[in-house]
Structure 1
């Protein structure tokens, strides 16, 4: 929760409920800088500690547009290499919007662990 969310998010608004196990559910919500409410959730399809997370992703406003996120972790001489893959988008606009969003989140993660 210390790094997740877009740069303009109201930090106190971030809420997360995570049941990190195969078949478990998650829900993440936050309020953007303009006051708009966002909520996403999904189900963990695969949880392999220190190796891989696979989960569905859908915004509460468009639950029928479910996509799939796979995050792999691999040992690296400098620490851990994380490979992030988000697929099965409804269209190119959704893909591009998610790419911008995840890029900003991962920039915040990079600054957090630096």
Structure 2
């Protein structure tokens, strides 16, 4: 419990300057999964539903840097970032940096909001700071598939 309080009160070392990278997207999905389970999936169980097993180095603390990789079409895709905000079971915000085909080296920001409702949890994901429309469009197509995968893996 003490760590959760610490996470909520800690300020990020430096918030990315997104002013020159205006492209952003938002996707929403209602899932029949409690917010605390979704929060844990994003902060402690990334390799259960998204990252390649065994590739995750992640600690759920504000300012803690993380690394993981995904595999797609036979290629390895490294991801780097750090947590900017953590509000247990309600919100997490992290930087998201990938290479070619992803954010093209730009430090973007992913915000995941979790709101419990009568159908489970409304997950709203906002991804900001893309340097071009192509990167934004690629992620706009990918995130709904990623969220489908999240729900499928957590409801097995």
User: 1:1-114, aligned counterparts within 5 Å?
Assistant: 1-4=47-50, 15-33=55-73, 35-60=74-99, 62-63=104-105, 65-114=106-155
Q: Distance in 2 between matches of 1:111 and 1:105?
A: 10
Query: 1:78 Cα deviation (Å)?
Result: 2.3
Structure with greater strand share of residues: 1
- Structure 1, 70-79 or 87-96: larger mean CA deviation: 70-79
Cα distance between partner residues in 2 of 1:3 and 1:55: 17
Partners of 2:57 and 2:140 in 1: how far apart?
23
CA RMSD in angstroms comes to 1.9
CA contact (8 A) 1:74 1:80 kept: yes
Query: Which runs of 5 or more structure 2 residues have no equivalent in the other structure?
Result: 1-46
Per the normalisation by structure 2, the TM-score is 0.61
Could you state the TM-score of these two structures normalised by the residue count of structure 1?
0.80
Contact 1:41/1:60 (8 A) holds in 2: no
Deviations 1:8-62 (A, max 9, x none): xxx66x62111111111121112323x2220011110101101110111111554
- Structure 1: runs of 5 or more not aligned: 6-10
Query: Alignment length, in residue pairs?
Result: 106
Structure with the largest fraction of helix: 2
Distance in 1, matches of 2:75 and 2:110, equals 24
1:80 Cα deviation from its structure 2 partner: 1.7
Mapped to 2, the partners of 1:43 and 1:2 lie a distance apart of 19
CA contact (8 A) 1:44 1:56 kept: yes
Contact 2:50 2:70 in 1 (8 A): no
